[in-house]
Amino acid sequence: MIDLLGYGAFFLSTALIFGLIALGLNLQWGLTGLFNVGIAGFVAVGAYTSAVLTSPDAADRVGGFDWPILAGWLAASLVAGAVAAFTGYATLRLKSDYLAITTFGVAVVVQLVALNAQGLTGGPFGVAFIPRPFASVQSDPVLFNFANLGVVVAVTLAVYLALERLSRSPWGRVLRALREDERAAIALGKSAQSYRVQAFAVGGGIMGLAGAVQAHFIGFIAPDNYLPTLTFEVWAMLMVGGSGSNRGAVLGAVVVWAIWVGSGALTAAVVPGDLQARAASLQIVAIGVMLCLILLWRPQGFFGARK
């Protein structure tokens, strides 16, 4: 029973971190209509920034800055936000599928840098010994899991409330206008370029923050964590929860993560040992099938506005 409670806290923490990423995507796609499929790249930038700044000295890469965790998270948001702002600036003239291809390319570049710039990122071995919040109570798993869940809930809630305020504000109204008709928004005196870059930067900063929170939650990161599968999962979460809704982004993350974990546990239980590696692909199939079913039943997602 105690184990189950601890696992529940662990599960919810992981899911809410995905919820954070989905909140960032909702600002970019749900509100502004920017087709970002480079999510994994911005998450990775945040994760590596905080990991390198806070972890102890390592032999084969830069490090040993020993920053406090919160400073690392702040730096992660700022650096990921800056990378996203640059991406937004470089893609000002691109729309829909062309924008998607470019952001995808950015994520691939980030992942390759993480894999090969050994002196900065530790290369394929990643960064280990990332300080975990409440490490002093690690010997009591339940307490430890719940303390971490508290941190994740607090961060998610803060970001959620800030985004709710923004999406109801005149600032959010301009972003929705850009989503509907960019030229008309310009005719009304709005600088489409400036707002696009802002939406990229704020959304990317949130993704970077989520990456940092996740890195400190697990304590270890490697380039394999930031493959396009991550981007796919987050998109599935936003679609299921309802694009345009912050509540939907968080709830969609919990639901899709439950399906992901559930299908993983199921394949592990029923598939014989020598086929396990291949059966892992079934997880992606499960998400795809669930996505189709949910969208057939409710095309706008749980909380999306009906068009």
Partner 1 sequence: MAVLEARNLTKRFGGMAAVDGMSLSVAQGEVLGLIGPNGAGKTTMFDLLAGSVRATSGSIHLAGQDVTQAPAHRRLAGGMGRTFQIPRPFPGLSLLDNVLLARQSQTGERFWANFTAPGRVAAEERAARDKAMALLELVALARLADQPAQVLSGGQRKLLELARVMMADPKVILLDEPAAGVNPALLEVLIDRIRQINAGGVTFVLIEHNIDMVSRLCGRIVVMAQGKLLYEGRPDQVAKEPRVIEAYLGGVA
Q: Which residues bind partner 1 (CB under 8 A)?
A: 162, 165-166, 169-171, 173-174, 176-177, 179-181, 183-192, 198, 202, 307
Distance between CA atoms of 110 and 226, rounded to whole angstroms? Answer: 9
CB of 299 to partner 1, least distance (A): 15
Nearer to partner 1, 239 or 256 (CB): 239
Distance between CA atoms of 93 and 2, rounded to whole angstroms? Answer: 54
Nearer to partner 1, 181 or 224 (CB): 181
Return the C-alpha torsion angle 238, 226, 132, 237, nearest 10: 10
Nearer to partner 1, 69 or 163 (CB): 163
CB 12 within 8 A of CB 149: yes
Nearer to partner 1, 126 or 244 (CB): 244
Nearer to partner 1, 190 or 247 (CB): 190
Burial grade of 165 (CB within 10 A; 0-12, 13-18, 19 or more): exposed
Among residues 45, 38, 126, 53, which one has the least CA distance to residue 81?
45
CB of 173 to partner 1, least distance (A): 6
CB of 224 to partner 1, least distance (A): 35
CB of 55 to partner 1, least distance (A): 31
In the chain, where does DSSP find H-type helix? 2-25, 39-54, 69-90, 96-116, 118-121, 141-168, 170-180, 182-187, 192-218, 228-241, 246-270, 276-279, 281-297
CB 54 within 8 A of CB 267: no
Distance between CA atoms of 89 and 188, rounded to whole angstroms? Answer: 21
CB of 80 to partner 1, least distance (A): 17
CB of 184 to partner 1, least distance (A): 4
CB of 193 to partner 1, least distance (A): 9
Amino acid identity of residue 3, one-letter, is: D
Nearer to partner 1, 173 or 278 (CB): 173
Q: Is 15 helix (H, G, I), strand (E, B) or coil?
A: helix
Nearer to partner 1, 86 or 129 (CB): 86
Nearer to partner 1, 189 or 273 (CB): 189
Distance between CA atoms of 39 and 230, rounded to whole angstroms? Answer: 8
CB of 212 to partner 1, least distance (A): 21
